[in-house]
Amino acid sequence: MKIAVIYNRESQKVINLFGIANREKYGLVAIQRIVNALKQGGHQVVALEGDKDLIDKLEEFMPRVLKGERPGMAFNLSYGIQGQARYTHVPGILEMVGLPYVGSGPLAHSLALDKVVAKMIFVQHGIPTPQFAVLKNAGFDMPSLSYPMIVKPKNESVSFGIKIVHNEKELREAADVIFKEFGQHVLVEQYIDGKEINVGLLGNSAHMEAFPPAELEFGDGPKIYTLEDKKRQSNRTVEVVCPARIDKETAKRAQQIAMDAFEALGCNDCARIDMRMDKEGNLYVLEINSLPSLGEHGTYVAAADVAGLDFTALVNRLVEVAASRYFGTPHPPDLAKKTSDPKQALFGYLSGRRDQLEQSIEAWTRITSRSDDTVGIRAASAKFGQIMHDVGLKTVKELTDSRDVWTWETQKGIDGGTLLIVHTDIPVTPSLGAEHFRRDPEWLYGEGIGTSRGPLIQVEYALRAMKSVKKLRLLRAGVLCYADEGNDCEQSADMIAKACERASNVIVLTPGNLGGKVITKRRGQRKYQLTLEGKSLRLGQSGRDLEVMRVLYNKLNEISSLTNKKARVGVSAIDIRTEAYPFRLPHRAHTKILVSYPNAATAKKIETEMRSILANEGIQWDLVLVSDRPPFIERKENKALFNRFAEIGKEWDVHIEAEASLWPSVAGLVPAETPVLCGVGPEARDLYTTREAVSRMSLIQRTLLLSEFLLHTMEM
């Protein structure tokens, strides 16, 4: 399980520092000791400061879970940074963002921290507690208690401000210190002369464990546990004697009173109840520490050890106790190992490898393979080929040219099966700056992470998941990878079409659009090279000869006017280059024109109209079709494929919606009779830019859906 140990130590990352500051801190050694114990328990652990950045850090470490996936957990050590009821701040945040955690909730912490309210609840529940009074300001009337008394701040812990007073002068002096230093009311309590007993609790109402009572032996000085004692600055050693030197009946009574107090305040998982026992053997609850110290010398740890839990066992037992409270069992089932349902087994395999998916995609972003980089493409394609062979697929030689196209198939073969299509080149311009991998709570960033790297990871882990449940060898499927997406599939198109003819359905893993969109229809796209050539003219030269650039601008304006949203046609120039002699105007101009179109007839009509616009200008021109990417036509066969994918999404509460796209893809190369679905890759944004990103949640969701889709094809 992923566990975030949350503590407060630096206490600086807030909007402002003011108000009641926290004085309690865990030492770095103690924090690391807890982290190490959890790691020994087999957990993946990170330690985080409980400040204003906590939510982002938690979401990065343990992103939003899938339906049915058990979330990670927080191990709360946070005393808060500042303000009232500081113990409640981190638990409140954790409850707001929906993250399970070890320890009591905000309400129990606030009640336990307010010693006056806690004592009032104890009285209501018949739990013995010393008589008390509350002093609200420096001019207070004397309380009707007898000396000696205990004076302490109303809302503090760890013995801050605690003192024994024996007369009015000492009482007023001690109270004034608390008023000034802590800025809060003063709790005055009848001093109980006798033993101090602590009872540690572990568990909840369904199963509560009370540790053997521990006794504090003070030696010389005041018979209370002071802050100086806890910091080992009092020149005396307060010894912990466990089990306490009390008879068995008293010990049982102390444990029962502790459990009653725990229940009265509504604590969870753990607490330490501090009591005093007078000379007649009467027990009185002083307070509850709802966040008991796990420090090496604390009484809670010492009592747990006597109960048979060493430190590592104690820390991991706390996680089990909290897991039982949230999930109903200390050890929720490992779906990948314990279920015979292949769907749940696929889920268990993938949900347990979310970190590996993200580490793999990070490794892929370090490989540069832009469409103009033949060396990089060769390296990326070789890497993916090795992955396919590691998974257990074999090369389909007749569908592989080892330059632009590679195809692999399962043992059952590609014929009549599912063909998955991905590409290894990153179709961005050479001048675009590189984007290094980074992550935030919702997104993964990196070059080509949406256009190429996310789909590559998706295919790899979907196949590995199928292999893990022993279904891959029974699956009829193939994987085709091409490397010229950025060059309009000029070299790969024929072989892609040939491979698609052998499959019964095709899944094109281009990136999905935001909002759960997959693509069921795409426009075609043609790219033309237009060249205009005229005479070489001097600047300002007049006459009957036309300036090439003026003609070009006029013609491009007319050509762009062919754009017709209703007819789903778009026409635009995307690049202009000129040639000119020194000190003369350009005599030759080259421009690329893109045309998006819904069908071949419309494309032919647009070309005819462009040629008509260019004619009869007294200037030479040439219009050449450079590439043509066919449209992906929406058909009923594709609709059935989409419905199947959407139904799988419903099983896991993953929204899937159909959408049309302007951008072309290899889906247009699939034969008309073969069902095809496009945009099945992870949801991405800012494609082909330095801000390209893929949704962390979508990466795991779409991989799960793809693996279950492959499983579903075996049942057809």
CATH number, domain of 565, equals 3.30.70.360
Query: Is residue 559 domain-shared with residue 595, that is, in the same domain?
Result: yes
pTM of the model: 0.74
Tens-digit pLDDT profile for residues 176-213: 888 888 778 899 999 998 999 999 999 997 789 999 99
**Which of 92-101, 536-545, 615-624 is the least confident region?**
536-545
- Check pLDDT > 90 for residue 10: no
Query: What pLDDT does residue 339 have?
Result: 53
Query: What pLDDT does residue 232 have?
Result: 58
Question: Considering the domain boundaries, does residue 409 fall inside one?
Answer: yes
Tens-digit pLDDT profile for residues 389-446: 999 999 999 999 999 999 999 999 999 999 999 999 999 887 888 889 998 878 999 9
Total count of domains within the chain: 4
pLDDT band at 333 (very low <50, low <70, confident <90, very high): very low
Query: What pLDDT does residue 229 have?
Result: 56
Which residue type does 217 have? E
**Which of 119-128, 337-346, 590-599 is the least confident region?**
337-346
Question: Considering the domain boundaries, does residue 11 fall inside one?
Answer: yes
Give me the CATH number covering residue 172.
3.30.470.20
Report cis status (omega within 30 of 0) of the bond before 243.
yes
- Check pLDDT > 80 for residue 6: yes
**Which of 229-233, 241-245, 468-472, 703-707 is the least confident region?**
229-233
- Check pLDDT > 50 for residue 366: yes
Question: Considering the domain boundaries, does residue 345 fall inside one?
Answer: no
- Check pLDDT > 60 for residue 704: yes
Burial 114-137 (b: 16+ CB within 10 A, else e): bbeebbebbeeeebebbbbbebee
- Over residues 266-273, the mean pLDDT reads 96
- Check pLDDT > 80 for residue 231: no
Query: Is residue 189 domain-shared with residue 167, that is, in the same domain?
Result: yes
Query: Is residue 150 domain-shared with residue 287, that is, in the same domain?
Result: yes
Give the SS3 label for residue 567.
Answer: coil
The pLDDT > 90 percentage for the chain reads: 69
**Which of 10-19, 141-150, 201-210, 275-284 is the least confident region?**
10-19
- Over residues 365-373, the mean pLDDT reads 94
45, 65, 100: which is the final residue of a domain?
A: 100
Query: Is residue 443 domain-shared with residue 395, that is, in the same domain?
Result: yes
pLDDT band at 270 (very low <50, low <70, confident <90, very high): very high
- Over residues 506-521, the mean pLDDT reads 95
Query: Is residue 235 domain-shared with residue 315, that is, in the same domain?
Result: yes
Question: Considering the domain boundaries, does residue 343 fall inside one?
Answer: no
Question: Considering the domain boundaries, does residue 339 fall inside one?
Answer: no
Q: CB count, 10 Å around CB of 713?
A: 16
Which residues, other chains included, contact 469 with Cβ-Cβ below 8 Å and sequence gap of 6+? 342, 345, 346, 349, 711
Query: Is residue 560 domain-shared with residue 686, that is, in the same domain?
Result: no
Which structural domain, as residue segments, surrounds residue 484? 367-522+632-713
Give the SS3 label for residue 339.
Answer: coil
Question: Considering the domain boundaries, does residue 165 fall inside one?
Answer: yes
Query: Is residue 388 domain-shared with residue 450, that is, in the same domain?
Result: yes
Tens-digit pLDDT profile for residues 614-656: 987 678 999 999 999 999 998 888 999 999 999 999 998 899 9
100, 133, 151: which is the final residue of a domain?
A: 100
- Over residues 295-317, the mean pLDDT reads 92
Task: Look at 482 and 221; give whichever has higher pLDDT.
Answer: 482
Burial 285-323 (b: 16+ CB within 10 A, else e): bbbbbbbbbbbeebbbbbbbeebebebbbbbbbbbbbbb
3-state class percentages of the chain: helix first, strand second, coil last, to nearest 5:
35, 25, 40
pLDDT band at 83 (very low <50, low <70, confident <90, very high): confident
Query: Is residue 91 domain-shared with residue 131, that is, in the same domain?
Result: no
Query: Is residue 266 domain-shared with residue 157, that is, in the same domain?
Result: yes
- Check pLDDT > 70 for residue 263: yes
Query: What pLDDT does residue 648 have?
Result: 94
Q: Tell me what the pLDDT averaged over the chain comes to.
A: 90
d(CA 67, CA 71): 10
Give the SS3 label for residue 702.
Answer: helix
Kind of pairing, strands 418-423 and 505-508?
parallel
Give me the CATH number covering residue 683.
3.40.630.10
Query: Is residue 84 domain-shared with residue 172, that is, in the same domain?
Result: no
Residue with tokens 């003011």: 18
Q: Residue 189 pairs with which residues in a beta bridge?
A: 132, 150
From residue 627, give the alpha-carbon distance in Å to each of 532, 613, 621. 20, 21, 19
**Which of 111-125, 208-222, 419-433, 451-465 is the least confident region?**
208-222
Question: Considering the domain boundaries, does residue 683 fall inside one?
Answer: yes
CA 534 to chain centre: 60
Residue by residue, DSSP assigns 405-457 as EEEEE-TT-STTSEEEEEE-SB---TTSPP---EE-SSEEE-TTIIIIIHHHH
Give me the CATH number covering residue 90.
3.40.50
- Check pLDDT > 60 for residue 522: yes
Query: Is residue 290 domain-shared with residue 419, that is, in the same domain?
Result: no
Question: Considering the domain boundaries, does residue 350 fall inside one?
Answer: no
596, 627, 658: which is the final residue of a domain?
A: 627
Query: Is residue 545 domain-shared with residue 407, that is, in the same domain?
Result: no
Which residue type does 434 have? A
Q: CB count, 10 Å around CB of 159?
A: 16
pLDDT band at 323 (very low <50, low <70, confident <90, very high): confident
- Over residues 553-581, the mean pLDDT reads 95
Contact assessment for residue 502 and residue 429, using Cβ atoms and an 8 Å cutoff = no
